Chain A
Amino acid sequence: MSNPSVEVATQPNLAPAKRGAGVTRRMLKRAWGFTEMKVAAVVFATMMFLTIFGPYIIDASATQMNVSARFLPPIFMEGGQYPHFLGTDQLGRDLLLRSLIGLRNAFAIGLVSVIGMFVLGCAIGIYAGYRGGWVDVVLMRLTDVQMSIPVIILAITILGLSRPSPLTIILVLILASWPTYARVSRSVALAEREKEYVRAARILGASDLRIMIRHIAPSILPPIAFVAVLDIARMMIFEAIFGFIGIGIQPPTPTFGTIISSGTQYLLNAWWITVAPGVLLALALGSLNLMGGVLERARNQVLQGGE
């Protein structure tokens, strides 16, 4: 607490920023109590470790073509060769490595875009809810409009007509998905605005900006944290879809979408080109989604009064 006067004014049990943070801490603690959370976290951490260090460990190249090693099946099948654990693609490139790099790209895009939509959406939502009046009306109607354009139409239109790059992909995802965050944070701000501690802070001369950031923002995390975790996975799927359609990150950079779509041509003879990267992606997404799902349950239990 850097502002002791607010502390004093709202004692004993209405300590401002602590309330939201307290619920967040309880929620995380409860979530960690689920076995599923631990399993998912371990799987996720392993995947992250592999995407970062895999290229140094595995003695193969993700982009180097090797004609003599084309269409090698995964190592557990007949004809599989070390070090190509998941086999090779039509150009003899190692599939595990390509998938790991694809995973890294997808996760980076997912994480950055979710942070972006979180910050943008919450800023707009808190401002609208705290200000109220016509600002609120205009901003909320804007979310209506935004939500009335299906994400995929917006994305295909923008990415298909401009030159897709990681930055434009992230911007499109942010543009398409911020309204959820704005809606939730607005309703939180609306509820918190009238509470005693906010009024007290205002009387004590705290600026609007300070109230919004220090006092209201922490309360937003519990209702939205699980949405953000689930959204990282959702954005990663979008990234894969864009790559598949040809409007994502462009080759030769490996992405799940381009690997899967190139594999469709060799489906009968070399099904692993398509299947193997998908399993890897599904594992990563599964762990994220399981964590998000558990987080949602933990939040519900905490809000229903469990300690």
Chain B
Amino acid sequence: MAFAIEFFLRRISQGLVIVLLVAFVIFTLLRIVPGDPMRIILGPMASQTTLEETAKELGLRDPMLIQFGRFVGEVATGDLGRSYIRGVQGGSTGGSQDADGFDPESRASVAGLIANALPYSLMLAGLGIAFALLVAVPIGIAAGLNAGRWPDKIGLYTSSLFVSLPNIWVGVVLIFLLSAKTGWLPAIGYRGFEYTIIPAIVLAVELSPVMIRAISVSVAQNLGETFYSVGLVRGISRRDMIGKHVLRNAAVPLMNLFGAQMIGMLLGGLFVVEYIFSYPGIGMLTINAVFQRDFPIIQAVAILASAALVIINMLVDFASTLIDRRLKF
């Protein structure tokens, strides 16, 4: 497994650099946009002197590079900081009650907030992917096996249709049809598993077109390869060739797609869908944090998201070299 060790060492070091750069970009971005977070931390009643003192205490007046260095040091030890706004007990404190100073201990830790929200997001993402696969795999394979004929057209039409439906609209329309009008499923907030179903359908509508296209293209390409016709000539049945070889080979580009495109899309979809449904996941947490200028949360989510992206891409590349030995990393 020398190959595996070399692979991971190289990719992990590359990944670390990428995540560090992403962290720097987000960190700088948050500090050059207008709006002083101190005003939000301390509330409208705080005096200018308290404001300055607390800012100095928190290190928000130091040069940016020093702030960034300190931040990286903290992240490296696993400390993602504390929210500016959210109290330990949950809920926003609004800031005004401690106008004479700021006690970081009274605010919720970012790591804790994320750990609370993550399972909800993962559950939603998992269910969304499952729904999407349920639709995309049959349509995609049928389209790929019958390039140019009607299943192929159906693939083109469904993916063009689904990709043209904005998730915000699908979300609201489904709330109207499945929840408000018929009362079949609950929709807003979270009080049990059934609250995940409508959001997951919306997510699936967003994800499936990319899957359908990727699967059909990949399957069709493999049918055109020489190994397929050679296999048929050698007397292997069409069913065996497709089941054992074509689909297996077609899985490689699909996994690459999962890494490169899907995860980004999935994250974006999660953010929006969670916002529509007030679903208590990472997306909701982040959007609220942006509106409340709760920088530590935004930073942490951005870094974790890019780290996840890097890691998943690494695993995907590794898995595809395992499936298809012709690929070198």
Q: B315: CB under 8 A from chain A?
A: no
In the complex, are the beta carbons of B267 and A153 less than 8 A apart?
Answer: yes
Is the CB–CB distance between B287 and A156 below 8 Å? Answer: yes
CB of A76, distance to nearest CB on chain B (Å) = 18
Q: Are A244 and B286 in contact (CB under 8 A)?
A: no
Q: Which of A161, A237, A245 is in CB contact (< 8 Å) with B275?
A: A245
Interface bits B130-161 vs A (CB < 8 Å: 1, else 0): 00000000000000000000000000100111
Q: Is the CB of A285 within 8 A of B166?
A: yes
In contact, A149 and B172 (Cβ under 8 angstroms): no
| A148 in contact with B172 (CB, 8 Å) | no
Chain B contributes a number of interface residues (CB within 8 A of A) equal to 51
Given A151-B268, A240-B168, A274-B169, CB of A267 within 8 Å of CB of B175: yes
Q: Report whether B301 and A153 are in contact in the complex, using a CB–CB cutoff of 8 Å.
A: yes
Are B166 and A282 within 8 A (Cβ)?
A: yes
Interface segment among B23-31, B58-66, B91-99, B113-121: the answer is B23-31
CA distance A230 to B310 in the complex (A): 26
Residue ID in chain B nearest A152 by CB atoms:
B268
Q: Which residues of B contact A300 (CB under 8 A)?
A: 217
Q: Is the CB of A157 within 8 A of B271?
A: no
Specify which of B33, B156, B267, B306 is in contact with A158 (CB 8 Å cutoff). Answer: B33
Interface residues of A (CB under 8 A from B): 36, 141, 144-145, 147-153, 156-158, 160-163, 230, 233, 237, 240-241, 244-245, 256-257, 260-261, 263-264, 267-268, 271, 274-275, 278, 281-282, 285-286, 288-290, 293-294, 297, 300
Answer yes or no: B22 CB below 8 A from chain A CBs.
yes
Question: Is the C-beta of B223 less than 8 angstroms from some C-beta in chain A?
Answer: no
Q: Which of B172, B260, B268, B302 contacts A260 (CB 8 A)?
A: B172
By the criterion CB–CB under 8 Å, are A244 and B168 in contact?
A: yes
Question: What 1/0 mask marks residues of chain B from 21 to 56 whose CB sits below 8 Å from any chain A CB?
Answer: 110011001100111000000000000000000000
Q: Pick the contact of A241 from B26, B180, B272 — CB < 8 Å?
A: B272
Q: Which A-B residue pairs are the 8 nearest by beta carbons?
A: A278-B169, A160-B290, A285-B164, A152-B268, A286-B164, A161-B33, A148-B306, A150-B267
Q: Are A145 and B168 in contact (CB under 8 A)?
A: no
Any A CB within 8 A of the CB of B247: no
A sample of 7 cross-chain residue pairs with beta-carbon separation below 8 angstroms, ordered by A number, consists of A147-B260, A149-B305, A152-B267, A153-B267, A244-B168, A288-B164, A293-B156
What 15 new A-B contacts, CB under 8 Å, besides A160-B290, A241-B272, A281-B169?
A: A147-B309, A148-B18, A152-B267, A152-B271, A157-B290, A158-B29, A161-B35, A161-B293, A163-B34, A230-B163, A240-B166, A271-B176, A274-B173, A278-B165, A289-B164
Kindly list chain B residues whose C-beta atoms are within 8 Å of the C-beta of A261.
Answer: 168
CB distance from B321 to the nearest CB of A (A): 19
CB contacts (< 8 Å) of A256 on chain B: these are 166, 169
Q: How far is the CA of A278 from the CA of B170 in the complex (A)?
A: 9
Q: What is the CB-to-nearest-CB distance from B48 to chain A, in angstroms, rounded to a whole number? A: 22
In whole angstroms, what is the CA distance A271 to B177 when docked? Answer: 10
Q: Which of B206-235 contact A (CB under 8 A)?
A: 213, 217
B298 at the A interface (CB under 8 A): yes
Tell me the complex Cα distance, A268–B165, Å: 21
Q: For residue A148, which residue of chain B has the nearest CB?
A: B306
B291 touching A160, Cβ below 8 Å: yes
Query: Is B167 among interface residues, defined by CB-CB distance under 8 A?
Result: yes
- A293 lies within 8 A of B159 (CB): yes
Residues of B within 8 A of A141 (CB): 17-18
Instruction: State whether B22 touches A157 (Cβ < 8 A).
Output: no
A145 proximity list for chain B (CB < 8 A): 18, 21-22, 25
Q: How far is the CB of B210 from chain A (nearest CB, A)?
A: 11
B168 & A257 in contact (Cβ 8 Å cutoff): yes
- Given known A-B contacts A233-B164, A267-B175, A274-B169, A150 and B268 have beta carbons under 8 A apart: yes
Q: How far is the CA of A230 from the CA of B160 in the complex (A)?
A: 10
Q: Considering only CB atoms, which chain A residue lies closest to B169 in the complex? A: A278
Nearest residue in A to B272 (C-beta to C-beta)? Answer: A241
What's the least CB distance linking A70 to chain B, in Å?
19
